[in-house]
Amino acid sequence: MDQFQLGAKIFMGGGLDDLLAGRRKVLIVSDRFLVDSGKVSYVADAATRAGAEHRVFSDVQADPDIATVTAGVGLLLEFQPDAVVAFGGGSAIDAAKAILFFSAKQQDVRDVLFAAVPTTSGTGSEVSRFAVITDREKEIKYPLVDDKLLPNAAVLDPVLTVSVPPVVTADTGIDVFTHAVEAFVSTAHTDFSDAAAEKAIKLAYHNLLEAYRAPDNLEARQKMHNASCLAGIAFSNSGLGLNHGMAHALGAHFHISHGRANGILLPYVMSFNAGCIDGLTPTAKRYAQISRLLRLDSSSVRQSALQLIRTIRSSMDKLSMPSTIKDAGVLQAEFEADVEAMAADALADRCTATNPRPCTKEDIVRIYRRAYSGKLF
């Protein structure tokens, strides 16, 4: 039996004041940069206008780890907020999810409002039941998947993304596209997740480059915010795939940002899933459908799938992103020393379970090596 779940109430262009009305204590989960730059005032001032006391937990770093979550749980249990607002990128939102999730094991937090205010357009974490927590000692990322991780509300305000550096716009934008593509070909996709994924793909394809080149274009920024949110809705219901499993392992071992790791790997994983090297698979037809959606299709399924893969590779170049693991600054000796362990981690990753093509550890090692050298087909 298939299911499709919608969780967060989505506010486009603002709405935080309405959400916080009547709240007494607001815990803001963010990162040091947003606090030091004063940007966290977007939430703090809204709390003040609502007459609420607020505290800021700003220990979140890229790829939040177990220690960060533990510290956040301690603050939540001490402060006893009736609202938690995650303010930042995917790391801040994932940290807030994990803090609430583990706090719930010690006290009842069902009446605590959980709102997510993304400042980048990438993860879709504001509407997904996924969070990723890192164990730095083991160099492993653990995806948490649970309906309890869903925020109650998401505020999509494009103004918050205008000052994001172009490199972050590129990395997070490719992350959006990867989410949507993986959701569309996932073994657990449905007509409903397909609808969200298709719209996210179109919005990202038509607006990412503009948001990258013209940061002040609020229309393109809002469209990318919407694309990120729609992709989050899609993959939260359908799951993801091997690309994310491999990106989690690559990021944990070599500290490559999540979106960038996804973008580097995407053409190579798609080539494997489509069977471009060893014989077409049914997934090639799904990629051909995306090609038709973007008006990239050709005379055959194979050519349509190839055209989509090549277009993604070309888009990476236009966004000044590396197209190989080598170009991302990973030395070959270090890569070869870790590739077997990365493949094992990727195979065990929960995201890999819904990949459309079954794979072995040896398959994953081969894909990593192709992604290192740049051998696409």
Mean pLDDT of 262-285: 96
3-state secondary structure of 64: coil
Q: Residues for the chain: how many in total?
A: 377
Query: Worst-scoring range by mean pLDDT, 140-149, 192-201, 203-212?
Result: 140-149
Mean pLDDT of 1-14: 80
Task: Name 11's bridge partners.
Answer: 155
What integer pLDDT is reported at residue 25 of this predicted model?
97
**193 band by pLDDT with thresholds 50, 70 and 90:** very high
What integer pLDDT is reported at residue 270 of this predicted model?
98
Domain with CATH 3.40.50.1970 in the chain: 9-161
From residue 22, how far is each of 18, 19, 32, 49, 53 by CA, in Å?
Answer: 9, 9, 28, 10, 11
Angle between helices 258-274 and 361-373 (to 10 degrees): 110
What is the tens place of the pLDDT at every residue in 98-115? 999 999 999 999 999 999
The answer, yes or no, to whether residue 1 has pLDDT greater than 70, is no
The answer, yes or no, to whether residue 3 has pLDDT greater than 80, is no
3-state secondary structure of 282: helix
Q: Return phi, psi of residue 140, to 5°.
A: -130, 140
Percent of the chain scored above 90 by pLDDT? 83
What is the tens place of the pLDDT at every residue in 147-166? 889 899 999 999 999 988 99
The answer, yes or no, to whether residue 261 has pLDDT greater than 80, is yes
What's the chain's average pLDDT? 94
The answer, yes or no, to whether residue 180 has pLDDT greater than 90, is yes
Domain with CATH 1.20.1090.10 in the chain: 166-373
Q: Are 276 and 285 in contact (CB under 8 A)?
A: no
**2 band by pLDDT with thresholds 50, 70 and 90:** confident
**4 band by pLDDT with thresholds 50, 70 and 90:** confident
Which CATH number applies to 9-161? 3.40.50.1970
For 166-373, CATH number out of 3.40.50.1980, 1.20.1090.10, 3.40.630.30, 3.20.20.20 equals: 1.20.1090.10
What integer pLDDT is reported at residue 130 of this predicted model?
82
**136 band by pLDDT with thresholds 50, 70 and 90:** confident
What integer pLDDT is reported at residue 299 of this predicted model?
84
User: What pTM, to 2 d.p., does this model score?
Assistant: 0.87
Helix extents (H) in the chain = 16-20, 32-36, 41-49, 66-79, 90-103, 166-185, 191-213, 218-238, 242-254, 258-274, 282-293, 301-318, 332-348, 361-373
